[in-house]
Amino acid sequence: MFLPNAQAYARPRLPSSDPVTAPRLHAHELACQRGDRLLFRALSFALEGGDILHVTGANGTGKTTLMRALAGLTTPFAGTVACEGARGLLDERTALDPDLPLGRALAFWRRLDAGGDGGEVRARLALDALLDVPVRYLSTGQRKRAGIAVLLARGVPIWLLDEPLSGLDHAAIALVQEIIAGHARGGGIAVIASHQPLGLDSVVTLALEDHRPQVDAV
Amino acid sequence: MIAALLRRDLATFFPFAGGGAALPVVFFVAVAMLYPFAVGPDANTLSRTGGGVVWIAALLAAILPLEKLVARDIALGMFDQLRLRGLTEEAIMAVRLLAHWLSFGPPLLLAALPAAALLALDRSTLELLLLGLLAGTPGLAAIGLMIAALTASLRAGAALSGLLLIPLALPILIFGAGALARQDAASIGFVAAISLLLIAIAPFAAGAAIRAAREV
């Protein structure tokens, strides 16, 4: 089994009070395809609570495909994904109704997740001023912040973030870095697909280029 | 969770709820209004053929909401996020079927009253027509949902869904409109049976179609 960075597993972990609820995300010999093309193969990693995995790769190397396979939305071509704990996915499609004002679009997910008021999260992501603005008028960065607010309010242990920093300004990037670091400190798992540096400490990096199939499988 | 989802679906699809989904009902009444202009105002001809026209108008009105029914939420990533919250595609589609029928069946039944007046339908024909539409619209909604889910990932999906719905809706039309011609409520039982079968299949077929759309 390939381990992206053996040191990550020697790192002392936060004490986990309940081993049953400790999150876990293992990928074993994963291979994914898009259309007829095999994007990567023999990809394995094992993440426990507190781990951050940074998936790097140029456009088209399969970052999004990997995230969707890890989320359980698609079946990988080969290999398995084992996971304990609920998964949350943040990608470019934030699932917020474009015709609704942001406040009502967020309220739908809050009702569905049976979460609290979420005011704290909104304030932290500076969304309060935007609640009356229809989602389709929001900029890319504002929409991304709203997506992060939905993810945060859900309180799931495993985060799958597909390009979480794209479209954000400097202040928002710093904030999201802080949120991700805080999530890991709290015993959560974060898998981040991004082609830009994350600026986070103790991150394991997984380069998809290293797993490109040697012979094209067409 | 299911209640919150149904509420959202109804808010999206119900006519006059802000989603602009009143078009099928308006279209339905417009067809009933145009027909006397096309064939002439002879009350006898109208009342003899009017019931069938209402059925055709209902069938065509069922095509209109299909474009937004599934494809939009796939593009928004709505189904992905619901799946991550543990809802199966079948459950999501069952809720969507209920919301789709509620936002299209009962408004159509109401609109059938002015349509019947425009077409000079007598009382017994109107009763059979309403009963038939009540039994048939759930089936039309189920066919529509399956087609919308199957064509959601195709580029010409909207145009194709109309073409696909018409032949599949023929059994409902034959028995539903047939009840009017024979003045016989028994064939409405067939319409109800077809509808029940379609309702039972639709969430599974549409759910599988959504899952398949993710793999491309």
Give ipTM to 2 decimals. 0.85
Q: Model confidence over B5-58: pLDDT tens digits? A: 998 888 888 766 555 567 888 889 999 999 999 998 898 999 889 999 999 999
pLDDT at residue B155, as a whole number: 77
Pick out chain A residues at pLDDT < 50. Answer: 1-20
pLDDT at residue A82, as a whole number: 92
Domain count, chain B: 1
What angle is formed at CA B73 by the lines to CA B14 and CA B55, rounded to 5 degrees? 45
**CA of B212 vs chain A CAs: smallest distance (Å):** 9
Residue B76 to residue A98, Cβ atoms within 8 A: yes
Name the residue with tokens 């580029």: B155
Q: List CB contacts of A24: < 8 A, sequence separation 6 or more.
A: A46, A47, A48, A49, A82, A83, A84, A85, A189
Tally A–B CB contacts below 8 A. 54
Name the residue among A70, A183, A71 with its Cα closest to residue A121.
A183
Residue among A74, A111, A114 whose CB faces B215 most closely:
A74
Residue B76 to residue A72, Cβ atoms within 8 A: no
Residue B76 to residue A68, Cβ atoms within 8 A: no
Residue B80 to residue A73, Cβ atoms within 8 A: yes
CA distance B20 to B17: 7
pLDDT at residue A14, as a whole number: 45
pTM: 0.88
- DSSP-based three-state secondary structure for A26: strand
**Residue ranges making up the domain that contains B180:** 2-215
More confident residue, A114 or B72: B72
CA distance A23 to A49: 5
Closest-CA residue of A relative to B11 is A100
Q: Do residues B25 and B15 lie in contact, with contact meaning Cβ atoms separated by under 8 Å?
A: yes
Q: Model confidence over B80-137: pLDDT tens digits? A: 999 999 999 999 999 999 999 998 899 999 999 999 999 999 999 999 999 999 999 9
Residue A71 to residue B85, Cβ atoms within 8 A: no
pLDDT at residue A7, as a whole number: 41
Q: List CB contacts of A178: < 8 A, sequence separation 6 or more.
A: none
Measured CA to CA in angstroms, residue B152 lies from B5, B74, B133, B144, B198 at distances of 20, 8, 27, 12, 19
